Amino acid sequence: MPELTDKKVKNLELLANTIRQDIIEMLVLAGSGHVAGSLGMADVFSALYFHILNHNPKKPNWSSRDRVILSNGHICPVLYASLARAGYFPLEELKKLRSTHSRLEGHPHFSSLPGIENTSGPLGSGLSQAIGITLAFRLDNLKNRIFCLMSDGEHDTGNTWEAIMSAGKYRLNNLTAIIDRNNIQIDGFTEDVMPLESLRAKYESFNWHILEIDGHNIEAIIDAVNEAKAIYEKPTAIIAHTIPGRGVGFMEHDFSWHGKPPTEREARAALLELRTLSGRLKEE
């Protein structure tokens, strides 16, 4: 991983802001899609694709690349925008999200688009897929790192806990899960729908190493990933505390924004807010 300077941090914050603008533009054109989780994870995606990952967008199948497995497929707008910004495919294609003649499926489909490493949408099976890859790499003595991005809501599924248990059993230290702990799901706040706390204690008792961070703090995200690399004998889960809808005031913390796109008017207001923030960041 390259060195992290103040300038680089600011650059990553600006990239996250750009990705957020992309998300708003994509969703308003698509007329459907999931905005809150996508906006909330923009900082994590910026840190991953523009600093942390060992990858080559011009060679998406390069065998030494790190793998990003997205488990909560509904936040794929943030994945697509990050991939396009990183150079995996033309930015123009973002405008075609969810349309009939597009490669940008409503939920990510392996092999449809360069940079997509797995299929997801139905929640709860991404961590399992990441575990299979990690076990296979271990058999072949490969050192690639595997990142699995998960949501908090999907921890309601049995499959997720089956996976957590098996990753603990196999002591998969090359595997790092990053959990979007934004406290919302479709029907409300996670603690009302199906309480998850203490998430940390649950993971720890399944033999995982746990880190908790502010998921909007670029340095904290990168530091946590570095710490995870230093942990042997255990997989690490980074519980990233995020604000759903982050960056757009009227969407923040409101679970009703889980799965709807902004109207054109709302999109204009959202973009204005994001651009103002971007301008301020540049001036600092």
Partner 1 sequence: MTARKTESDKNTFSDKPKLAALRDGFSEGILKLGEENKNVVLLCADVAESTRSHFFKEKFPERFFEMGVAEQNMAAVAAGFALAGKIPFISSYAVFSPGRNFEQIRTTICYSNLNVKIAGHHSGLSAGPDGATHQALEDITMMRALPEMKVFVPCDALEAKKAVIASAKIHGPVYIRLARERTPLITSAKTPFIPGRADIIFEPKEKIKPQVLIIGAGPVLYEALLAAAVLEKEKIGAIILNLHTIKPLDENKIIELAKKTGCVVSIEEHQIFGGVGGAVSELLSKKYPIPMEFVGVKDSFGKSGLYSDLIKKYNLDSASIIESVMKVIKRKKF
Ligand X SMILES: Cc1ncc(C[n+]2csc(CCOP(=O)(O)OP(=O)(O)O)c2C)c(N)n1
Q: Is 36 in the site for ligand X (CB under 6 A)?
A: yes
Q: Is 124 in the site for Mg ion (CB under 5 A)?
A: no
Among 57, 108, 115, 124, binds ligand X (CB under 6 A): 124
Q: Catalog residues that contact partner 1 under the rule CB under 8 A.
A: 69, 109-111, 117-122, 124-126, 128-137, 139-140, 158-159, 162-163, 165-166, 169
Residue with tokens 């050192």: 143
Q: Is 243 in the site for ligand X (CB under 6 A)?
A: no
d(CA 152, CA 200): 12
Site for ligand X in 65-94 (CB under 6 A): 72, 74-75
Whether 33 and 45 have beta carbons less than 8 Å apart is answered as no
Which of residues 21 and 128 has its CB atom nearest to partner 1 in the complex?
128
Which of residues 27 and 75 has its CB atom nearest to ligand X in the complex?
75
Which segment (108-116, 144-152, 191-199, 212-220) binds Mg ion by CB under 5 A?
144-152
Whether 175 and 131 have beta carbons less than 8 Å apart is answered as yes
Distances (CA, A) of 20 to 144, 150, 207, 237, 244: 29, 19, 35, 25, 12
Which of residues 54 and 226 has its CB atom nearest to partner 1 in the complex?
54
Among 18, 46, 128, 182, binds Mg ion (CB under 5 A): 182
Interface map 145-174 toward Mg ion (x if CB under 5 A): ------xxx---------------------
Angle between helices 76-86 and 6-30 (to 10 degrees): 120
Which segment (40-48, 114-122, 184-192, 209-217) binds Mg ion by CB under 5 A?
184-192
d(CA 167, CA 187): 29
Site for ligand X in 178-207 (CB under 6 A): 182, 184-186
